[in-house]
Amino acid sequence: MVARLIDEDPEGAYAYSKVALRLASRVAAVREAAGFAAYANQKYSEALAEFRAARRMTGHVELWPVMADCERGLGRPEKALDMAGAPEVHKLDKAGQVEMRLVAAGARRDMGQLDAAIVTLQSPELASNSVQPWTARLRYAYADALLAAGRESEAREWFAKAVESDKDGSTDASDRLAELDGVEFVDALDEEADEVVEREYEGVGDSDEPQDEVTPEAAPETLPESQDDEDDEKTVGSPEADSKGEQV
């Protein structure tokens, strides 16, 4: 349940993880899920504690990169860098090592070491033409670091490469590339645009052109029934009718 909710409803996933912890706190998978739920809600201290507990229970190192990123979130980039150089990193699979490289580069940037962050990301995985699950994020991080260092032309090149490899839209590389190219997107549902359209429609029918008027010729020849009754009453009461009555 936590895994299903964590992307669309992080707070809901966190609430569910707290219930799961009360019921099965000695299950490593529950502690790990609780850690990711806390991490998604930027509760880094709590997330780190849950990850450490899960690692003690299993002895696995897969959580090492996210644990290091929690150290970054807690404002301890130096600790994250220490973890990036620890022996545990060599036990990670390729995806885990790339993730650790991303965390280390982020820690360098946290410390204001942009050039070091760029060098950290330079790797065989970055230079490879094959597309792997981590390729888009790695290229994106490299492009973003280049842009922060003022190397705009190189950044544009790598944002374009990130777009090529980002088949599921996991990054906003296409937006960043468009921004560098000076392309502006207009939100079709923008409220201001709606107001302009409404004002335009309000102006319809307010033109100065004269409206069609009913001319006497176009008026109906037959008066309304009520008007006929009034005329009959006037005829009965006319002087001419009275004089004929007297003659009789």
Kindly state whether residue 154 falls inside one of the protein's structural domains: yes
Domain shared by 104 and 134, yes or no: no
* DSSP codes joined into one string, 63-107: THHHHHHHHHHTT-HHHHHHHHTSGGGGGS-HHHHHHHHHHHHHH
Domain span including residue 16: 1-60
Domain shared by 102 and 90, yes or no: yes
The first and second tokens of residue 53, run together, are: 């507990």
Domain boundary residue, one of 190, 211, 235: 190
- Residue 21 neighbours by CB distance under 10 Å: 17
- Cα–Cα distance for residue pair 144/167, rounded to 1 Å: 19
Domain boundary residue, one of 152, 170, 190: 190
**Exposure of 13 by Cβ count < 10 A (0-12 exposed, 13-18 middle, 19+ buried)?**
buried
Domain boundary residue, one of 152, 171, 190: 190
Kindly state whether residue 229 falls inside one of the protein's structural domains: no
What CATH number is given to the structural domain containing 14? 1.25.40
pTM of the model: 0.72
Domain shared by 99 and 128, yes or no: no
pLDDT value at residue 201: 53
Per-residue pLDDT of the chain (248 residues; tens, 9 = 90+): 666 667 677 898 899 899 999 999 999 999 999 999 999 999 999 999 999 999 999 999 999 999 999 999 999 999 999 999 999 999 999 999 999 999 999 999 999 999 999 999 999 999 999 999 999 999 999 999 999 999 999 999 999 999 999 998 999 999 999 999 888 766 555 555 556 546 655 655 555 555 554 444 444 454 444 444 444 444 444 444 444 444 43
Domain shared by 67 and 54, yes or no: no
Are 20 and 30 in contact by the 8 Å Cβ rule? The answer is yes
pLDDT value at residue 106: 98
Domain count, the chain: 3
pLDDT value at residue 16: 85
Residues 6+ apart with CB under 8 A from 71: 48, 77, 79, 80, 83
Kindly state whether residue 72 falls inside one of the protein's structural domains: yes
